[in-house]
Structure 1
């Protein structure tokens, strides 16, 4: 129920892509929506579980204040699987998300998109440079311990609140490299986890989304080495927890 005690109408989602930023969430949202048994939200990033009870009319700051009834109206109630993709849900800036999600939709499947964490950090840096939000040189920005370039790529740390909330058995991890190099078996595995026809395939699932140039110029080997060291322990723990090897990663 929302803050006014109103029971939600419509249908809440039963799959949520929770992150991470610059890891193929746009492609995953699109590929899932192509399946005849799936209806993803028209707007990709609903950011519902982010924000406070009395919010501002600023989508990026979150929509928690709108209440579950509003959230339910964003989904097709006739679809067997319905969902959204908000990579900000695993942002270190939003520790409240996991508890809220577990309380409202405890049975939902969660999809966690990941990629080589060094490449992810470089991609996020390039994204912010293009937007004008980042003016520092790559070394200063990427190695800044107070920035999110490293924090967002320590995937198990970002996933831990969801595990602590009892959602561990609901999480499917999908590596961007798998989606890029082996799209059909990767989507087949995901469809199977969602309990829908895993034989379905569309050629459009081989299309890549949001593929803007990602290199911030000449990134020195020393910077890459320091980034790899910053990610190494977390990447190994992610391998231990998921049983995935992530052989394409540099970490």
Structure 2
């Protein structure tokens, strides 16, 4: 018998290679939050039922999942499915210096055996996901329209890495649980800076590819994002 359908209270929707696994662990440590087991970050819901069943989530006042595949730029319809299935869900989006995220993504694909091109060629290929998944403002547009901005919180990875207590406190308040009830957020493994391994030309080309999107994100957030050079 198939387990009954279930709607989570919290979704960490991305971005891939931006610290979703680390944030999932930090949230799961809170006594009022139960996070579903980690999933393949590339997994994308294939239909409006979204694959949520009650047996996937621990019993807790707030139950959630980290599912960065939900912000696959090739599948903007997922935002509408989530809005229809879980109209009250609280969403969290992690963002990271766009080039650092793309380079980490490329390295992940190389380790997985699915990318053979050198980084300078792969990262500026408009047909690859490296640029598209780093265009956060564009990726979030369907969620802003269908779920609503009030239910969406953006967390900057560089700030989570530098001060996890402060950033986790923001997420807990967004979700509606008492930050004082949980343990102090521990230092945990997070994606490390990718390092200056690219030539200036590649960096400039990538910056051109995401520059308008970064400007849009800064304007929408009212935040200069000074951590991003």
Moved over 4 A (4+): 45-49
For each residue in 1:9-39, what CA deviation from the matched residue of structure 2 results, as whole angstroms up to 9, or x when unmatched?
Answer: 4742100001100000000110000001100
Alpha-carbon shift at residue 74 of structure 1 (Å): 1.1
| Contact kept? 2:165, 2:184, Cα under 8 Å | no
Q: 2:79 aligned to 93, 98, 120, which one?
A: 98
Q: 1:43 to 1:180 in 2, by over 3 A?
A: closer
| 2:56 aligned partner | 74
Q: Which has the larger radius of gyration?
A: 1
User: 2:218 matched to which residue of 1?
Assistant: 239
Relative to structure 1, the CA distance from residue 242 to residue 43 in structure 2 (aligned partners, 3 Å threshold; closer, same or farther) is: same
Q: 1:210 to 1:223 in 2, by over 3 A?
A: closer
Which of 12, 16, 23 aligns to 1:21? It is 16
Ranges in structure 1 where 5+ consecutive residues have no aligned partner: 1-5, 54-62
Give the distance between the partners of 1:45 and 1:82, measured in 2 at CA.
Answer: 19
CA distance in 2, matches of 1:106, 1:45: 24
Q: How far apart, CA to CA, are the structure 2 residues paired with 1:234 and 1:38?
A: 33
2:25: which partner in 1? Answer: 30
Q: Distance in 1 between matches of 2:197 and 2:43?
A: 38
Contact 1:49 1:89 in 2 (8 A): yes
Distance in 2 between the 1:136 and 1:247 partners? 31
Alpha-carbon contact 2:18-2:191 (below 8 Å) kept? no
Conserved 8 A contact 1:26-1:44: no
Q: By how many angstroms is 1:241 displaced?
A: 1.2
Tell me, in whole angstroms, the C-alpha distance in 1 between the residues paired with 2:141 and 2:71: 9
Kindly indicate whether the alpha-carbon contact (under 8 Å) linking 1:26 and 1:210 is maintained by their aligned counterparts in 2. no
Q: 1:233 offset after TM fit, Å? A: 1.2
Are positions 1:225 and 2:204 aligned together? yes
Residue 144 of structure 1 aligns to a residue in which SS?
coil
Q: Distance in 1 between matches of 2:47 and 2:4?
A: 21
Give secondary structure in 2 for the equivalent of 1:120: helix
Flag structure 2 segments of 5+ consecutive residues without an equivalent.
none
